[in-house]
Amino acid sequence: MSKITMQEIARLAGVSLATVSRSLKNPNLVTPKTRLQVLRMMEENNYVYNAAAGDLSRRKSSVIGVTIPTTRNPIFASSTLAIQELAQEKGFSIILGNTKYDNAIEQQILQNFQERRVAGVILTGFTLHQEAFIKNLIRAGIPCLVIWEKLNGTPLSSVGFDNFKAAYAMTEYLISLRHRRIGLIIGPFSKVGRVKKRFDGYRSALEDHNIDYDSDLVIENEPVLYDGKEAMTRLMSLPHRPTAIFAASDMLAIGALSAAWELGLKVPQDVSIAGFDDIDFAAFCYPPLTTVRVPSYEIGRLAAKYLIEAIEQGSMRARHYCLETDLIIRSSCCEFSGE
Amino acid sequence: MSKITMQEIARLAGVSLATVSRSLKNPNLVTPKTRLQVLRMMEENNYVYNAAAGDLSRRKSSVIGVTIPTTRNPIFASSTLAIQELAQEKGFSIILGNTKYDNAIEQQILQNFQERRVAGVILTGFTLHQEAFIKNLIRAGIPCLVIWEKLNGTPLSSVGFDNFKAAYAMTEYLISLRHRRIGLIIGPFSKVGRVKKRFDGYRSALEDHNIDYDSDLVIENEPVLYDGKEAMTRLMSLPHRPTAIFAASDMLAIGALSAAWELGLKVPQDVSIAGFDDIDFAAFCYPPLTTVRVPSYEIGRLAAKYLIEAIEQGSMRARHYCLETDLIIRSSCCEFSGE
DNA sequence: CTGAAAGCGCTTACAG
DNA sequence: CTGAAAGCGCTTACAG
């Protein structure tokens, strides 16, 4: 722990503390000869810069806070990865918090971010009713960016995509395949805006095609494999079972797939299953999953880029970026050939 | 950014700076009345504690650095999650670094951790030849813990499991199923110790059962789905193809599974496939994957616990914890019925 | 190009 | 129980 400080390097190199600092951080303000001397001293004594002290003194921070719902769903992994990569390039460190879709935890994490004096924060969605607290951050002058949502009209910047449109498109695709009873297995839409929009998209598509909404056909749960399987099992035991399932998260879809196999149902012949996210596994399950591709990595990359720009400019005006999603047609859905 | 400081709260509350600090961090050193007064002032002015300044002043840190190979492989997600959960409980923040199995990146991350003056670091494995640098950390008095490896005899503490033994057991299981030509698809064993041990386990099991090692049957690659698929395709096109595949990572195994389907091969009737890790997906693929269960969450939990203990005691003597792995027999392997 | 000095926002002996 | 003061390890105007 007893690390050597700039002060000591200064003494050893026979220069002032200021010169040592400059040799490291503003090399051009110092004679090459002096600098080399200082650097050599650092080398010899295993000097390690203290970023925390530097941040404090400069009164600016070089850490970015990012929240994700859970590291357990791999779909967030690629946006997180992208953020980390870019941040690292630009000299920022990342601190991460898992909200578990829980309001209280999320708030605690955000509090912690503030205490750490993060330079900015990226929120991977956020719990409904959290806006007040988040606006707090903004009022405190901390650049904030929400990802995975499209938030036009809010003071909160966002880089995301149109969850409504994407879910609408998938539902419509299923309808075009002549399905009329379409089950929906979906994450915590009563808690998370982004998920709510997927629900709305499903419902609107139904409505626009004159299909009655049937609440028995929709199951809300956590977006994990097990819950998908369980939901599928329930839906398939309905007296008048759905012919297609839209699982609004690939985790759920893959869980559903496994339930189908276990029930002896062939996908897509006996029942079609569509997902949402296009996680890596989607292309590798059996049958390969028809899903909507979310540009997760690009979202992370862009978010980090814009956030860092805002940090460097010292301000962020609300901006909204909406990326495109794609329908990825693989083999888990087919035309309904029944009555 | 212009946050209010303790100094200002002191002025507003009519007390000294010291009292403000104590009201927050050592409530028992201050009259309830005074404390309440101070706390109210903080409330009214949206005071937010500055953890970075606190750390600097106290000359101890409350952040823990953790490296993982890649956030892309979900198997590391659960140990990371466990670490985060416990750390959060104990008032630590986590900074994360993705090494991508790259020596240089890993080194840069470790450097960054030092600059941030982390209180301790947890390494999810490490690249071979990195030991020197890591010992540096230890010499600097930073508690370090390696997870996913078992490192008896090193000055580096570890909580992991026996990669050799686990791989040996799975290989032996396959042999007990009368397989003699067992392919191995495996991660970067020439770079990562833990993976090397799996390789050794495979090879030893073969040897102990008088089966010749055939290097044509082993393929080294990145532990990602695509590579598993590609490797499987290659192995299946061999003139004398293996009857069973041991994929020493579930990602690889699931990739292999998908290749099998695409080639029209039934698993396990035509070819058995076994994995390693027991990621969530393993139980949900088709057929459910026979694999070795790694206690990922428990590893993370224990590692965080021991690291924090070491941090609090101010020292860490090398300790080694070795958890058990289990063979999880599902349906992707069966007895070989050929010649 | 270099140095002396003030300051970042806290904590903690030391006195009282 | 409370306060004045020194200090954590840097950065950065300000002078020279």
Q: Which of A142-151, B124-133, B232-241, B330-339 has the highest mean pLDDT?
A: B232-241
Residue from the list B52, B109, B258 with its beta carbon closest to the beta carbon of A117: B52
Q: Judge: A72–B78 Cβ closer than 8 Å, yes or no.
A: yes
**B-chain residue closest to A281, CA distance:** B225
Element (H or E) spanning B328, and its range? strand B326-328
B130: Cβ contacts below 8 Å, ≥ 6 apart:
B103, B106, B107
What homologous superfamily does CATH list for B59-161+296-323?
A: Response regulator (3.40.50.2300)
| Banded pLDDT at B321 (limits 50, 70, 90) | very high
Q: Which CATH number fits domain A163-293: 1.10.10.10, 3.40.50.1820, 3.40.50.2300, 3.40.50.620?
A: 3.40.50.2300
B185 to chain A, closest Cα gap in Å: 17
Q: Three-state SS for A6?
A: helix
Q: Is the pLDDT of residue A180 over 50?
A: yes
For residue A196, count other CB atoms closer than 10 A to its CB: 18
What residues approach strand C to within 7 A at the CB?
A 14-19, 22, 28-31, 33-35, 53, 56-57, 59; B 3, 5-7, 17-18, 21-22, 24-26, 47-50, 53-54, 56-58
| CATH number of the structural domain B6-49 | 1.10.260
Nucleotide minimizing C1' to CA distance for residue B16? D3
| In contact, A126 and A290? CB cutoff 8 Å | no
Which of B116, B226, B227, B297 is best to mutate for the A interface (most A CBs within 10 A)?
A: B116
Q: Is the pLDDT of residue B128 over 80?
A: no
- DSSP per-residue letters across A13-79: HTS-HHHHHHHHH-GGGS-HHHHHHHHHHHHHTT----HHHHHHHHT---EEEEEES-TTSHHHHHH
Distance CA B292, CA B277 (A): 6
- DSSP per-residue letters across A117-161: T-SEEEEES-BTT-HHHHHHHHHTT--EEEESS--TTSSSEEEEE
What number of helices (H) and strands (E) belong to chain A?
12, 12
For residue B173, what are the CA distances in angstroms to A81, B95, B166, B205, B322?
37, 40, 11, 10, 22
Tokens of A112: 């912690």
Encode pLDDT of A271-320 as tens digits: 999 999 999 999 999 999 999 999 999 999 999 999 999 998 877 788 89
Question: Of B17 and A2, which is predicted with more confidence?
Answer: B17
How far does the CA of A134 sit from the C1' of D2, in Å? Answer: 37
Q: Judge: A140–B1 Cβ closer than 8 Å, yes or no.
A: yes
pLDDT of residue A2: 55
Measured from the CB, is B19 under 7 Å from any atom of strand D? yes
Q: Is the pLDDT of residue B130 over 90?
A: no
Q: Judge: B88–A97 Cβ closer than 8 Å, yes or no.
A: yes
Bases of chain D below 7 A from a protein C-beta are 1-13
Q: What is the residue type of A99?
A: T
Q: Is there a common fold for B6-49 and B163-294?
A: no
pLDDT of residue A339: 64
B315 to chain A, closest Cα gap in Å: 10
With CA atoms as reference, report the closest residue to A253 among A241, A244, A242.
Answer: A244
Residues facing B214 on adjacent strands: none
B333: Cβ contacts below 8 Å, ≥ 6 apart:
B173, B174, B177, B244, B268, B272, B273, B274, B290
DSSP B238: S
Q: Is the pLDDT of residue A1 over 60?
A: no
How far does the CA of B67 sit from the C1' of C8, in Å? Answer: 30
Lowest mean pLDDT among B7-21, B132-146, B157-171, B200-214: B132-146
Per-residue exposure over B311-322, b if at least 16 CB sit within 10 Å of its own CB, e if not: beeeebeeebbe
How far does the CA of A50 sit from the C1' of D14, in Å? Answer: 25
Distance CA A20, CA A7 (A): 8
Tokens of A130: 């959290």
| Banded pLDDT at B292 (limits 50, 70, 90) | very high
Question: Hey, where are the domains in chain B?
Answer: 6-49, 59-161+296-323, 163-294
DSSP E strand stretches across A131-266: 144-147, 157-161, 182-186, 218-220, 244-247
For residue A272, count other CB atoms closer than 10 A to its CB: 25
pLDDT of residue A296: 95
Tokens of A8: 């000591």
Q: Three-state SS for B246?
A: strand
For residue A283, what are the CA distances in angstroms to A329, A338, B12?
10, 28, 61
Tokens of A53: 């002290």
Strands of A272-274's sheet, edge to edge? A218-220, A182-186, A244-247, A272-274
Measured from the CB, is A24 under 7 Å from any atom of strand D? yes
The CATH fold of domain A61-162+296-323: Rossmann fold (3.40.50)
Q: Judge: A115–B51 Cβ closer than 8 Å, yes or no.
A: yes
pLDDT of residue A258: 97
> What share of chain B has pLDDT > 90, as a percent?
73
Give the predicted TM-score (pTM) of the model. 0.89
Compute the average pLDDT of residues A169-183.
98
Encode pLDDT of A49-90 as tens digits: 999 999 999 988 889 999 998 888 888 989 999 999 999 888
The CATH fold of domain B163-294: Rossmann fold (3.40.50)
How far does the CA of A107 sit from the C1' of D9, in Å? Answer: 32
Q: Judge: B140–A3 Cβ closer than 8 Å, yes or no.
A: yes
Q: Is the pLDDT of residue B314 over 80?
A: no
A231 to chain B, closest Cα gap in Å: 14
Q: Is the pLDDT of residue B316 over 80?
A: no
Lowest mean pLDDT among A101-105, A258-262, B158-162: A101-105
With CA atoms as reference, report the closest residue to B92 among B51, B144, B58.
Answer: B51
pLDDT of residue A134: 81
pLDDT of residue A187: 94
Compute the average pLDDT of residues B181-207.
95
User: In chain B, which residues have their Cβ closer than 8 Å to the Cβ of A57?
Assistant: none
Terminal CA-CA length for chain B: 75
| Banded pLDDT at B2 (limits 50, 70, 90) | low
User: In chain A, which residues have their Cβ closer than 8 Å to the Cβ of B45?
Assistant: none
Distance CA A181, CA A244 (A): 7
| Banded pLDDT at A268 (limits 50, 70, 90) | very high
Q: Judge: A285–B285 Cβ closer than 8 Å, yes or no.
A: yes
Nucleotide minimizing C1' to CA distance for residue A4? D9
| Banded pLDDT at B145 (limits 50, 70, 90) | very high
Q: Judge: A77–B77 Cβ closer than 8 Å, yes or no.
A: yes
State the number of CA atoms in the 13 A half-sphere of A125 facing the CB.
27
Encode pLDDT of B63-110 as tens digits: 999 999 888 888 898 999 999 999 988 889 999 998 888 888 888 899
pLDDT of residue B1: 40
B210 to chain A, closest Cα gap in Å: 35
Compute the average pLDDT of residues B23-31.
91
Q: Three-state SS for B1?
A: coil
Q: Judge: B1–A72 Cβ closer than 8 Å, yes or no.
A: no
